[in-house]
A and B are shown apart, each in its own frame.
Chain A
Amino acid sequence: MVDLTLVARDAGRIERVAADLKVRSPQSHIRVVEAEFLEPVAIQDTVDEIISQGAVDVVLIAHGSLPEQAGCQNDLRACRDALEVNGVSPVLYAEAFAKHMAQADHGIIALIGSVAGDRGRKSNYIYGSAKGLVTRYAQGLQHRFSGTAVKVVLIKPGPTDTPMTSHLKEQGANLASVEDVAQKIVDAVDRCQAEAYVPGKWFLIMMIIRHLPRFIFNKLNI
């Protein structure tokens, strides 16, 4: 039994998720909040309102959207939108919760970054740089909260079979299953792991990618 608040931009769509969760866990209390994702004052209000309902044990910041790289190169507005929703917005939400959790000296902030944030690649560096921002932010937050009871978990999924990647699936990409990735995210949060690659093989793959010398890396078509 849990007390869960779902925060999303579109109440209709999140109601679908809430109904599913209610069927699976009828004793749980599930609340839906329609919210703003870019406007700092509105974000602050949303978070304050949630905290006013009771202390938060875990917050999972999971929103994001995969832009078309070419679109970002050709239109600066698309570029800015992608940076904001994948980079700035998660940081603002995390920062708003961090303030409350610091006061309470209690809580876990879990952020979903991406393997794409580990090294810029020509095929998706705008999205990747926003996820890189989240990575650096999580590091700083972990530094700030070291020695306290507030924990920060950064999750870096590899390509996963969700609506975000349905066009990649069409191109035949090999995607991890949502159940598998979700279970590993839950485990990482349970263990308060500072950084979790999910599935785990991406730890090795990204270690290699990060360490490839530039003259080799820049020749790769990835």
Chain B
Amino acid sequence: MRRVSSWGRLSADQHEVIALSDPAKVSSLVSGSNKPGIVHGMGRSYGDVCLNPGGVLWLTTGLDHFIAFDDNTGRLVCEAGVQLRDIQRLGIPRGWILPVTPGTQMVTVGGAIANDVHGKNHHVLGSFGNHVQRIKLFRTDGEAIECSPQTNPNWFAATVGGLGLTGVIVEAEIQLRRIAGPWLDTETVPYPSLDEFFQLADDSEAEWEHTVSWIDCISGDRGRGLFMRGNPTDVTQLPEPKGRKRTMPFVPPVSLVNRLSLRPFNIAYYNFKKWQAERAIVHYEPFFYPLDNLLQWNRMYGPKGFFQYQSVVPREVGQDAVQAMLEEIAHSNDGSFLAVLKTFGDRQSVGMLSFPQPGVTLALDFPNHGMRTHKLFERLDAIVREAGGRIYPGKDARMPRDLFEAGYPRLNEFLKYRDPGISSALSRRLMGS
């Protein structure tokens, strides 16, 4: 037994960890388990989707081999524990990039599929699952299932965004996308209020592949922030940045993100960035993965850990709902510097339980202050529920079951594809088993 936490460090329960490192042995190890398990990839999910206290965790980081890559078509076949970082480092020098990537590249292919992750270019390219061509899945009864948008499409739709509950993904085929080089042409535009955010988003979507914004959820009640947009560029003659890694060396006894540090931090960040608001050519690593060089930054929230609250609400009611959430947070004085606001496009997600849907998504980190934090979440839940929105299970550790059911209308259809030998803390909390 070993203590395992997810990214939010809200718990550190004992798990029976079984490393899956040989694809030929996955089936027997998984079907030989006498109690239910769940796959744990890089554990970059914030909540309990990748945890199973007291039960089995199948660790997939050893399933890290590439299987085939065609330089002419950009088709990649790899094992499910391969990290997105390794795909980017393989592909980009050869002119191919992952079409969709989340804000950290230290996640596995299996994790990216199971949470159907999204990136800054959702309005152009949808989510990760839109680019997966084939999945090989092992069930705990020993059955192997190959699925794709064409073959076994229901299994495919259940497994993409399926939170690891339909089986163990061992292998996937992904379509990469042509790219000229590792650089992006970027622009940062400060905005004074939510009105301008929505205007900027509307104006940018046609011309810019990547859009995202940082929003200051404390200092003002109008919602000022910075809008960042970028496009791939064919500039190639720049020196690669030096990848200097820093580690948060210890867990501070209290959260470094607190009432005293937050307000000055937000003001400083905003003003500092405001001077820099301009066009710049930026390497893909700092652009897509700004925090990856500060290893284990999650420790700065102290021993009690932290929550991320990410919701998406339909565009029609988006502005009002976001405004209402920001007001709640401003009143609570409990916000954080990682508040991210972004619009999702109309591209349909393939998964029955995929999180992305057309609208606007707001993601905020909150240090864990127990009841106080939970009370705030209940007020945010009410706004999301009212707006007809949903919460991202990959980030969640606490949403109420009724909100999950309301947000994911295909849940009943999905349940038919669950593997009875698989269970997570999240599935027990939100699906009863």
Let me know if B66 and A163 touch, CB within 8 A: no
- A24–B66 CB distance below 8 A: yes
**Does the CB pair B21–A166 fall under 8 Å?**
yes
Are A163 and B17 in contact (CB-based, < 8 A)? no
- Residue A170 is within 8 A (CB to CB) of chain B in the complex: yes
Chain B residue contacts of A169, Cβ below 8 A: 2, 17, 19
Bound-state CA distance A16–B1 (Å) is: 30
Q: Let me know if B22 and A13 touch, CB within 8 A.
A: yes
A100 vs B3: C-alpha distance when bound (angstroms): 51
Question: Given A24-B90, A26-B71: A19 and B21 within 8 A (CB)?
Answer: no
Residues of B within 8 A of A (CB-CB), count:
19
Complex CA distance for A177 and B156, rounded to whole angstroms: 33
Residues of B within 8 Å of A20, CB to CB, are 65-67
Contact A163 B67 (CB under 8 A): no
B23–A16 CB distance below 8 A: yes
CB distance from A181 to the nearest CB of B (A): 15
Report A22 CB to chain B, min CB distance, Å: 8
Cβ of B62 within 8 Å of any chain A Cβ, yes or no, is yes
Asked if B69 is at the interface (CB within 8 A of a chain A CB), the reply is: yes
**A23 CB–B CB distance under 8 Å:** yes
Interface of A is mostly: helix
Among A19, A24, A26, A166, which residue has its beta carbon within 8 angstroms of that of B19?
A: A166
Residues of B within 8 A of A16 (CB): 23, 65
Known: A24-B90, A163-B19, A163-B21. A172 touches B67 (CB 8 A): no
Q: How far apart sit A151 and B277, CA to CA, in the bound complex (Å)?
A: 56
Cβ of B238: which chain A residues have Cβ within 8 Å of it? none
Q: Which of B18-46 contact A (CB under 8 A)?
A: 19, 21-24
B79 CB, min distance to chain A CBs, angstroms = 9
Looking at the complex, which one of A13, A23, A170 makes contact with B2 (CB distance below 8 Å)? Answer: A170
Q: Is the CB of A23 within 8 A of B22?
A: no
Cβ-neighbour of B69 out of A12, A23, A166 (below 8 A): A23
Q: Which residue, of A16, A20, A23, A171, has the highest number of chain B Cβ atoms within 10 A? A: A23
What is the bound-complex CA distance between A170 and B3, given in angstroms?
9
Provide a sorted-by-A list of 26 A–B residue pairs whose CB atoms are within 8 angstroms: A12-B24, A13-B22, A13-B24, A16-B23, A16-B65, A19-B67, A20-B65, A20-B66, A20-B67, A23-B69, A23-B76, A23-B90, A24-B90, A26-B71, A163-B21, A163-B22, A163-B62, A166-B62, A169-B17, A169-B19, A170-B1, A170-B2, A170-B19, A171-B2, A172-B2, A172-B3
